[in-house]
């Protein structure tokens, strides 16, 4: 199967972004949105920005404790500069580099260990994803009546299943043996079935499903290998694991505070338990990479849709979502400034899309 050219992917994502914004604006009248922005509270506005900065500092602190297991060459200040550069690449620049790759590269150059730098970024990112799955499964219980809604219990089930898969991959020595035998048996049966005259139309769908299964299996095997490296790096260090858990929980508590303060910046009072129940599901659903620049348009649409479930006006949620976007762009812009003044022997070339020596 031929891959879609990157330029075409970018154009397609831009079209989807515009489509999501057009749908949003069809639900929210322009004068309603303007009215929400006119009643901004500058005190909460500034406080919300401070919360976002604290979130960034917490994430960077988590990355540092992971790197410190093998090397203490990087100061927190140096690591923060690299983290900001990575944030710029992840959320602002539609480049061939992801923020994680950039962070791994810069840190690896300093500690002279690209392998462990990559492991540290993986552990920092992976621990966040694992906790997000757990929270998506648990958070709806903050507002138990919302569990009857499929838009909450479906992400909750996905979070629970994914958490179980991750635990299984971590603990089992050969986690793919039984599923692979079962899959092979099913595909053998389907091939025999499609060989018969009346089922020959199913040959292509079965082949597509089989190819998809083996692609997923290959991805899971790679994930298992990366996880094993991470487990080997942190095992027998309970103090480290405790600090990692605390910093990850701190980050997700701050995500709730971030949304709450962003609403308050527009004098919108939303029940904090509703925010706690909805935000993990929103973060999980919003991970689907369908648009440009941190899922522009789609990200805001998910917020508007979910907060309508608890009676928050669409214009108010859209204003809050756009404020979250403004904060993200502001930090990304600051990351670009850091990138421009950052001095290192080897740096990333934005124009050529490659590492320049």
The structural domains of the chain, with segments of one domain joined by +, span: 6-356
Which DSSP string corresponds to 164-214?
HHHHHHHH-SSTTHHHHHHHHHHHHHHHHHHTSGGGGGGHHHHHHHHHHHH
The token duo for 27 is 């639900």
Q: What is the DSSP letter of 142?
A: G
The predicted pLDDT at position 348 comes to 61
Q: Is 42 helix (H, G, I), strand (E, B) or coil?
A: helix
pLDDT tens for 240-299 read 888 999 999 999 999 999 999 999 999 999 999 999 999 999 999 988 776 666 667 788
Query: What b/e readout covers 230-252, taking b as 16+ CB neighbours within 10 angstroms?
Result: beebbeeeeebeeebeebbeebb
Give the N- to C-terminal CA distance of the chain in Å, as an integer: 35
pLDDT tens for 158-210 read 999 999 988 887 777 788 888 888 888 888 888 888 877 677 777 888 888 88
CB count in 10 Å sphere of residue 217: 14
Phi and psi at 355, nearest 5°, equal -80, 125
* Reported confidence tier of residue 93, pLDDT bands at 50, 70, 90: low
pLDDT tens for 62-85 read 999 988 887 777 889 999 999 999
pTM: 0.82
* pLDDT at 11 exceeding the cut of 50: yes
The token duo for 269 is 């009072």
The alpha carbons of the chain give a radius of gyration, in whole angstroms, of: 23
- Percentage of residues of the chain with pLDDT beyond 70: 82
* pLDDT at 229 exceeding the cut of 70: no
* pLDDT at 352 exceeding the cut of 60: no
The predicted pLDDT at position 128 comes to 92
pLDDT tens for 196-228 read 767 777 788 888 888 888 888 888 887 777 777
Q: Is 66 exposed, middle or buried (0-12, 13-18, 19+ CB in 10 A)?
A: buried
Sign of CA dihedral 42, 45, 51, 57: negative
| Of the candidates 244, 250, 238, 227, the residue with the CA atom closest to the CA atom of residue 62 | 244
Q: Is 305 helix (H, G, I), strand (E, B) or coil?
A: helix
Are the C-beta atoms of residues 63 and 79 closer than 8 Å to each other?
Answer: yes
* pLDDT at 25 exceeding the cut of 70: no
Helix axes 314-341, 238-264, angle to 10 degrees: 130
Mean pLDDT, range 133-155, rounded to an integer: 92
* pLDDT at 354 exceeding the cut of 60: no
The predicted pLDDT at position 349 comes to 58
The predicted pLDDT at position 109 comes to 87
Q: What is the DSSP letter of 345?
A: S
Q: Is 39 helix (H, G, I), strand (E, B) or coil?
A: coil
CA-to-CA distance for 320 and 302, rounded, in angstroms? 12
The predicted pLDDT at position 56 comes to 95
Phi and psi at 306, nearest 5°, equal -70, -40
Give the Cα-Cα-Cα angle 289, 52, 310 (nearest 5 degrees): 65
Largest CA distance in the chain: 72
CA-to-CA distance for 313 and 39, rounded, in angstroms? 15
The token duo for 84 is 């900001």
Give the Cα-Cα-Cα angle 301, 166, 163 (nearest 5 degrees): 50
* pLDDT at 357 exceeding the cut of 50: no
Q: What is the DSSP letter of 271?
A: -
The gap from C-alpha 111 to its chain's centroid, in whole angstroms, comes to 26
Residues forming beta bridges with residue 144, ordered by sequence position:
none
């Amino acid at each position: 199967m031929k891959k879609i050219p990157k330029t075409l992917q970018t154009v397609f994502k831009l079209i989807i972004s515009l489509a999501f914004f057009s749908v949003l604006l069809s639900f929210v009248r322009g004068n309603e949105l303007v009215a929400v922005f006119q009643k901004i509270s500058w005190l909460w506005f500034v406080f919300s920005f401070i919360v976002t900065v604290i979130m960034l500092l917490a994430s960077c602190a988590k990355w540092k404790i992971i790197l410190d297991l093998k090397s203490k060459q990087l100061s927190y200040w140096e690591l923060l500069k690299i983290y900001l550069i990575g944030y710029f690449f992840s959320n602002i620049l539609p480049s061939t580099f992801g923020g994680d790759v950039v962070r791994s590269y810069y840190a690896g150059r300093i500690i002279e260990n690209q392998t462990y730098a990559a492991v540290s970024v993986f552990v920092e990112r992976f621990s966040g994803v694992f906790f997000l799955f757990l929270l998506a499964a648990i958070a709806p219980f903050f507002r138990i009546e919302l569990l009857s809604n499929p838009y909450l219990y479906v992400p909750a089930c996905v979070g629970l299943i994914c958490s179980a898969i991750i635990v299984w991959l971590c603990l089992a020595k050969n986690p793919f043996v039984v599923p692979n035998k079962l899959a092979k048996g099913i595909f053998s049966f389907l091939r025999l079935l499609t060989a018969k005259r009346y089922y020959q139309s199913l040959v292509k769908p079965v082949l597509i499903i089989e190819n998809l299964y083996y692609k997923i299996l290959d991805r899971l095997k790679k994930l298992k290998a990366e996880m094993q490296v991470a487990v080997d790096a942190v095992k027998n260090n309970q103090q480290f694991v405790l600090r990692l858990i605390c910093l990850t929980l701190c980050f997700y508590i701050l995500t709730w505070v971030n949304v709450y303060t962003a609403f308050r910046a527009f004098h919108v009072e939303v029940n904090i338990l509703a925010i706690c129940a909805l935000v993990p599901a929103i973060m999980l659903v919003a991970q689907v990479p369908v648009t440009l620049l941190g899922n522009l348009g789609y990200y805001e649409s998910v917020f508007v849709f979910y907060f309508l479930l608890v009676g928050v006006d669409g214009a108010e949620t859209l204003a809050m979502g756009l404020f979250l976007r403004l904060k993200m762009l502001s930090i990304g812009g600051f990351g670009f400034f850091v990138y421009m003044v950052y001095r290192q022997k080897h740096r990333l070339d934005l124009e050529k899309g490659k590492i320049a020596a």
